[in-house]
Amino acid sequence: MPKLVIDGREISVPEGTTILRAAERLGIEIPHLCYHPKLPPVGLCRLCLVEVEKNPKLQASCSTPVAEGMVIHTESERVLKARRGVLEFLMLNHPPDCTICDKAGECKPQEYVFQCGIAESRFIETKRVNPPQDFGDKLVFRVDRCILCQRCVQFCREIAGMEELGVFNRGGRSVIGTFRGKPVENKYSGNMIDICPTGAITSRDFRFKSRVWNLTMVPSICPRCSNGCNIFIEFKDNKILRIRPRDNEQVNQCWICDEGRFGHHFVNSLDRLTTPLIKNGGKLSPTSWEEALGRAAEGLGRVIANYGAESLGGIGSAWCTNEDDYVFQKFLREVVRTGNIDLGKIREEKDESYPGNDFLIQPEKAPNRRGAEEMGISPGEDCRDREGMFKEAAGGKIKAFLIIGSNPAKETGAREALAKVEFLVVQDLFLTDTAKQADVVLPAASYAEKEGSFTNFRGRVQWLNRALRPRGEARPDWKIICELANRMGGDFSYPGAQEILKEIAEKIPAYREVSLEKLRADGILISTK
Amino acid sequence: MRLKDKRLNILEYFYIPPILKGMGITLRHFFSRKVTVQYPKVKKEIYPRFRGAHRLEKNEQGREKCVACELCATVCPSKAITIEAAESPDPEVEKYPLRYEINVLRCIFCGFCVEACPKEAIAMTDRYELADYSREALVYNKEMLLK
């Protein structure tokens, strides 16, 4: 372990560590633009120059490994002068258009220029003008803002697994571009919005939606597949405006896929259910919670009284949190006393468009299949699974269904089976085909509007924080089930999802280690079966 | 300790001299130069740096100078400014305010928005008679501000 001194402070780091990383350990931030911890150092921007004693020239700290006895200065006069000069060169062709740039506010060059106190450019010549380029419908590329750090080129090559960008021409005419002007198509291209240190690559989806300092960030978990990537939900006026990755070395490092990044619009959709609906004379009409819950409890109770608990089936959801699913199965097992419980069908999609595209994306397009199963969303002994339930419903043995967060009406035979049942209660975000057939439809809160936990496909349990107020009168699924259970003779009095989590930790052996603090940090890997 | 009332002398007892003294002041002002202005028939002179209702400035093409950077909305201490940005239909301009609203009911006329604007796109006029019949009419939209 070489020992070295940075700014008068001693530190020893493993062999091969770069000066920049060693300084980071001491809490010293050396300004840098091209270096990114997840990409190989290229030493292009020259902003991270530091003074190494007994070395005639300043060294690029991002690519110089430490050596025994090095004495490094990161804030000496020589370094500051060089940094100022480099920054001035980098800004030569960079337009001063922070006023309209979406990056402004989280832009590194902007920050560094502000720190250096450079107010005016000495450059009187006309700025370089390169022809505009189209990067496809996810990204907006503003070639004049580019400082040629090549992070995007590196990202495509090293992380996304599809070499789509390159540097064309030489010297002052160098320009980033796509090969033959093809649009960028890799499944992780949105990450280039984050890693681009300037506003050269910005998001088409978020374009001009808001200045970044007006957004509120809430840590959450991406619901688009079973990988459980850590995200920040960034919102304004109770509307999600963008999703950005949150660092978690165990799950997604600092990346997310484009589906997760741009696939949040369903939360803000105007088609969301906002009030409970009940069927009156074959037509669904809005009503109050009181009436809808009363109708649901009465309808389910009637079926149980007339045909027995075995005539009721429940379909849980891999889109719901562990807490929702736990309360759901507890309601069916302890209040209704039926074991006809199964999980709604999960869309599976294996994308093989290019090798390496699956480094985050999982084929299972629901966040919590594993968690739901472990919560007990599976048929009890001598009880029917999903297909069995629909078969029996078609045969007239199952008379009522309680379906949360899934749309089985798309499956073969299920639509006919659902049409035959006497009573159908559906809890969902949207008026799905299944909900259209229901007697009572209850509006549920989306993942951004409730607290809870997801278990990813590897068994990592992670916590979702509430970001938004639920749309309209929507409520979290567990709350709806509790209300329903209390109307049917149960006693479900959970003040919040956190108390349900505590009960899960007590009741389910695999989850005994689970606690809110651990879930909020990096999540916790439950013991595998 | 007991306080004793000051005994009034005979002149003070009849209140005549104080009344005459007060009348004297009134009469003196009656004939001196008047300070009141007969508003609204007569209006006071407005000083050049007076901060009245806002105006959005136009460029040579007659379009708003504003590029919707939202610095005015950010600096506004009473959160009176709402801006919704969009891609401009003008190919020469990238970003423009689709919606620009100033809620004059919230505005405290501090002028920070004018100071913050990097494009000199917002100014304050000498218009100060802003009363209206509804609250809605006092949320000035872009068209009203551009007039």
pLDDT digits (tens, 9 = 90+) for A54-111: 999 999 999 999 999 999 999 999 999 999 999 999 999 999 899 999 999 999 999 9
pLDDT at B12 over 80: no
Nearest-neighbour CA in chain B from A102: distance (Å) = 9
Residues of A in contact with B94 (CB under 8 A): 97, 100
Instruction: State yes or no: pLDDT of A529 exceeds 70.
Output: no
Would you place residue B14 in the very low, low, confident or very high pLDDT band (cuts 50, 70, 90)? confident
pTM, two decimals, is 0.89
Of A99, A209, A213, nearest to B119 by CB-CB distance is: A99
Q: Which residues pair with A277 in a beta bridge?
A: A286, A441
Measured distance CA(A150)–CA(A200) in Å, rounded:
11
Of A97, A207, A211, the CB nearest to B70: A211
Which of B71, B74, B85 lies closest to A208 in CB terms? Answer: B85
Q: How far apart are CA B66 and CA A279, in angstroms?
A: 52
Q: How many CB pairs under 8 A join A and B?
A: 26
Residue of B nearest to A103 (CA): B69
pLDDT of residue B92: 86
Percent of chain B's residues with pLDDT above 90 = 74
Q: Which amino acid is at A168?
A: F
CA distance B76 to B100: 14
Output DSSP code: residue A219: E
Minimum Cα–Cα distance from B117: chain A residue: A99
Minimum Cα–Cα distance from A142: chain B residue: B94
The answer to whether residues B53 and B140 touch, using CB atoms and an 8 Å cutoff, is: yes
* Interface probe with B: pick from A211, A213, A215, most Cβ of B within 10 Å: A211
For residue B70, the chain A residues in CB contact (below 8 A) are 211, 214
Q: What is the DSSP string of A42-98?
A: ---S-TTEEEETT-SS-EETTTPBP-TT-EEESSSHHHHHHHHHHHHHHTTTS---G
Q: Tell if the CB–CB gap between B74 and A99 is shorter than 8 Å.
A: no
Q: Which domain holds residue B87?
A: 54-146
In this complex, do A99 and B87 lie within 8 Å of one another by their Cβ atoms? no
CA A514 from chain center: how many Å?
A: 21
B69 vs A contacts (CB less than 8 Å):
98-100, 104, 211
**Is the confidence at residue B11, as pLDDT, over 80?**
no
Residue B68 lies in a domain: yes
Report d(CA B65, CA B96) in Å as an integer: 9
Q: State what percent of residues in chain B have pLDDT above 70.
A: 100
For chain A, how far is it from start to end, CA to CA, in angstroms?
Answer: 41
| Interface check B95 vs A, CB under 8 A | yes
Q: Do B69 and A214 touch (CB under 8 A)?
A: no
Q: Which of A97, A100, A144 to mutate to test the interface with B (most CBs of B within 10 A)?
A: A100
Beta carbons of B68 and A100 less than 8 Å apart: yes
Q: Do B67 and A214 touch (CB under 8 A)?
A: no
- Interchain CB contact of A100 with B (< 8 Å): yes
Do strands A440-443 and A277-280 pair parallel, antiparallel, or not at all (unpaired)? antiparallel
Tell if the CB–CB gap between B87 and A211 is shorter than 8 Å.
no
Query: Positive or negative, the Cα torsion across A171, A172, A177, A181?
Result: negative
Q: What is the CATH number of the domain that holds B63?
A: 3.30.70.3270
Bridging pattern class, strands A3-6 and A71-73: parallel
Q: Taking all residues of chain A, what is their mean pLDDT, rounded to a whole number?
A: 93
- Model confidence at B7, in pLDDT bands (50, 70, 90)? confident
- Whether residue B10 is contained in a domain is answered as no
Q: How far is the alpha carbon of A32 from chain B, nearest alpha carbon, in Å?
A: 27
In eight-state DSSP terms, residue A158 is: I
Per-residue model confidence as pLDDT tens digits over A460-502: 999 999 999 999 999 999 999 999 999 999 999 999 999 999 9
**Token pair for A369:** 């299949």
Residues 179-208 of chain A with CB under 8 A from chain B are 207-208
Say yes or no: B79 contacts chain A, CB-CB below 8 A.
no
pLDDT tens digit sequence for A9-61: 999 999 999 999 999 999 999 999 999 999 999 999 999 999 999 999 999 99
**DSSP characters over A306-367:** HH-GGGEEEEE-SSS-HHHHHHHHHIIIIII----EEEPP--B----SSTTTTTT--SB-SS
- Lowest mean pLDDT segment, chosen from A52-66, A278-292, A347-361, B45-59: A347-361
The residue of chain B with its CA nearest to that of A209 is B85
Maximal CA-CA distance, chain A: 92
Q: Is B90 on the interface with A (CB under 8 A)?
A: no
Q: What is the 3-state secondary structure (H, E, C) of A180-223?
A: HHCCCCCCCCCHHHHHCCCCCEEECCCCCCCCHHHCEEEEEECC
**Are A130 and A148 in contact, with CB atoms under 8 Å apart?**
no
Q: Which two tokens stand for residue A418?
A: 């659902």
Q: Are B51 and B111 in contact (CB under 8 A)?
A: yes
Chain B, residues 114-133, CB within 8 A of chain A, namely: 118-119
Q: Is residue B49 part of a domain?
A: no
Q: Is residue B40, in this structure, part of any structural domain at all? A: no
Return residues 15-74 of B near A (CB < 8 Å).
67-71, 74
Q: Which of A100, A213, A214 sits opposite B95 (nearest CB)?
A: A100
* pLDDT tens-digit readout, A393-408: 998 899 999 999 999 9
The confidence score (pLDDT) of residue A114 equals 92
Q: Give residue A29's Cα distance to chain centre.
A: 28
The H or E element that residue A201 is part of is: strand A201-203
pLDDT digits (tens, 9 = 90+) for B67-110: 999 999 999 999 999 999 999 998 888 999 999 999 999 999 99
As for how many domains chain B has, the answer is 1
Domain contains B109: yes
Least confident of A32-41, A239-248, A352-361: A352-361
Query: pLDDT (tens digit, 9 = 90+) per residue, A146-201?
Result: 999 999 999 999 999 889 999 999 988 899 999 988 999 899 999 999 999 999 99
Percentage of chain A surpassing pLDDT 70? 100
Q: Is the model's pLDDT at A414 over the cut of 60?
A: yes
Interatomic CA distance for residues A162 and A164, integer angstroms: 6
Which chain A residues have a beta carbon less than 8 Å from that of B87? 207-208
Rounded to the nearest angstrom, the gap between the alpha carbon of residue A499 and the centroid of all alpha carbons in its chain is 24
DSSP A422: S
pLDDT of res. A329:
95
Give counts: helices (H), strands (E), chain B.
5, 5
ipTM for the whole complex:
0.82
Looking at beta carbons, which residues of chain B come within 8 Å of A98?
A: 69
Q: Say if B17 falls within a structural domain.
A: no
Contact A99 B86 (CB under 8 A): no
pLDDT category at A528 given cuts 50, 70, 90 is low
Whether B118 sits inside 8 A of A99 (CB atoms) is yes
Query: How many Å apart are CA B83 and CA B96, to the nearest integer?
Result: 10
Please say whether the beta carbons of B81 and B68 come within 8 A.
no
CA distance A4 to A72: 8
Is residue B35 in some structural domain? no
Which residues, 6 or more positions from A363, have their beta carbon under 8 angstroms from its beta carbon? A225, A348, A349, A350, A351
Sign for the pseudo-dihedral over CA of A361, A365, A371, A376: negative
Quote the pLDDT of residue A415.
Answer: 87
Q: Is the Cβ–Cβ distance between A428 and A405 less than 8 Å?
A: yes
Q: Across the interface, which of B71, B86, B118 has its CB nearest the CB of A208?
A: B86
- How close, in Å, is residue B67 to chain A by CA atoms? 7
Which pairing describes strands A3-6 and A9-12: parallel, antiparallel, or unpaired?
antiparallel
Residue B78: inside a domain, yes or no? yes
- Chain A residues with CB-CB distance to B86 below 8 A: 208
Contacts of B95 in chain A (CB under 8 A): 100, 208
